[in-house]
Amino acid sequence: MSSTYFKSSAKRYNTIMEEKNKKNENLDDSFLDQTLRPTRWDEYIGQKHIKDNVKLLLRAAEERGHIPEHLLFYGPPGLGKTTIAHLIAHETGRQMKVTSGPAIEKVGDLASILTNLAPGDILFIDEIHRLNKMVEEILYPAMESGVLDIIIGKGPSARTIQLDLPPFTLIAATTRVALVSSPLRSRFSGGVFRMEFYSDEEIAEIVNRSSKLLETKLEEDGLKEIAKRSRFTPRTANYFLKRCRDYAQVNKMKLNKETVKGALAMLSIDELGLNNSDRRFLEVLIEKFKGGPVGLKTMSAALAEEEATLEEVVEPYLIQLGLLERTPRGRVATEKAYLHLSFAVPKNLQSKLL
């Protein structure tokens, strides 16, 4: 593999990115999520501890004339990891190249991306925990020393060449930080930040801002109704807002509390924000297994769902709301779950509360 190969790969990558950017420019009005994305710090609601730390880091780097250090953001989907990366690029006036862990399959793919960066560029890698291990090892010296070590040939005749890279900032995001190897985590010298769930008040602010950007008149009671069902997640809140707007438009209705209830009923979202899968989980746990305890494998078989789906998608929100408990013996439905689904509360749970 020669330097000519990497130059041609970089050229191809550059062409693809230019075509993609042109396509996105023509479709800006179609991608509502991009329209709703904040472009200034004062528009970014919530995550105050992260904002304060990142703003300090960026300002210090700017005053020293350095590029910002590498940053890693982790947390559940929809909390704004990608948004904050775009915001950093916008606030610093730097170009950002976007890719994802699964998209970088070979060492050559990473080499093409890195050698195509201009000095000071930001490289954003989403779902970095899904990076190929061989690719990850090539990333270490690139992050630490700004060089790319490439092995050319095989066996005794193999030799290593070192390519100098332009200074860049790597911003990464992951929903599963435990799967990011310790050596890789340690190289995010700017910090590793956990994205927190939002409060109802913060969600209400976000929905209010989004409704203005969408030029949708949303009444106060409708705003609160969307916020309380949004699972403490901005992405979910914006999704509900768009569907409620569609419902109100088609039915020629004002966007108030009753309209929101009607729209979310069509999506099978109840007053706690539970969907069909959430309710089905609790119903099976209560009706078939008398509220538990029951193991994850048994629940998976009873619901015909994969264990990972239940553990990572369904259960966290139920636990957060206090509808489900994970015990050493298995999953247990709480009194709140019985009451929410209108089941009679067992005596053992009643006595537990006394």
**What pLDDT, in 10s, does the model give residues 298-319?**
888 988 888 888 888 888 889 9
Number of folded domains that form the chain? 3
Catalytic residue among 37, 97, 231, 235: 235
Q: Which domain holds residue 216?
A: 200-266
Residue 81 is among the residues annotated as catalytic for this protein = yes
pLDDT at residue 165, as a whole number: 82
Residue 247 and residue 164 share a domain:
no
Average pLDDT over residues 169-174: 91
User: Is there a contact between 224 and 255 (Cβ–Cβ < 8 Å)?
Assistant: no
Rounded Cα gap, residues 279 and 269, in angstroms: 10
pLDDT at residue 157, as a whole number: 64
Q: Tell me the β-bridge partners of 333.
A: 324
More confident residue, 88 or 161: 88
Catalytic residue among 37, 82, 115, 236: 82
Rounded Cα gap, residues 330 and 302, in angstroms: 14
Which of 175, 242, 236 is CA-nearest to residue 203? 236
Q: Please state the pTM of the whole predicted model.
A: 0.78
Catalytic residue among 97, 115, 126, 334: 126
With respect to residue 271, please indicate whether it lies within any of the assigned structural domains: no
| Minimum mean pLDDT range among 6-15, 83-92, 238-247 | 6-15
More confident residue, 145 or 318: 318
Average pLDDT over residues 88-110: 86
Catalytic residue among 99, 169, 174, 175: 175
Residue 130 and residue 23 share a domain:
yes
Residue 81 and residue 151 share a domain:
yes
What per-residue string of b and e applies to 30-39 under the rule 16 or more CB within 10 Å gives b? eebeeebbbe
Residue 51 and residue 127 share a domain:
yes
Q: Tell me the β-bridge partners of 160.
A: 151
Would you place residue 124 in the very low, low, confident or very high pLDDT band (cuts 50, 70, 90)? very high
- The per-residue pLDDT for range 253-289, each reduced to its tens digit, is 888 888 989 899 888 898 898 988 889 999 999 988 8
Residue 67 and residue 161 share a domain:
yes
Average pLDDT over residues 77-98: 88
With respect to residue 109, please indicate whether it lies within any of the assigned structural domains: yes
User: Is there a contact between 263 and 245 (Cβ–Cβ < 8 Å)?
Assistant: no
Residue 140 and residue 169 share a domain:
yes
| Minimum mean pLDDT range among 57-61, 134-138, 335-339 | 134-138
pLDDT at residue 171, as a whole number: 92
Residue 82 is among the residues annotated as catalytic for this protein = yes
- The per-residue pLDDT for range 223-257, each reduced to its tens digit, is 889 999 998 999 999 999 989 988 888 888 888 88
Domain-terminating residue out of 158, 179, 194: 194
Residue 221 and residue 150 share a domain:
no
With respect to residue 342, please indicate whether it lies within any of the assigned structural domains: yes
- The per-residue pLDDT for range 185-203, each reduced to its tens digit, is 888 988 899 999 998 899 9
What per-residue string of b and e applies to 293-305 under the rule 16 or more CB within 10 Å gives b? bbeeebbbeebeb
Residue 344 and residue 227 share a domain:
no
Domain-terminating residue out of 266, 301, 316: 266
Residue 126 is among the residues annotated as catalytic for this protein = yes
Count other Cβ atoms within 10 Å, centred on residue 63: 8
Average pLDDT over residues 20-47: 63
pLDDT at residue 30, as a whole number: 45
Average pLDDT over residues 127-149: 84
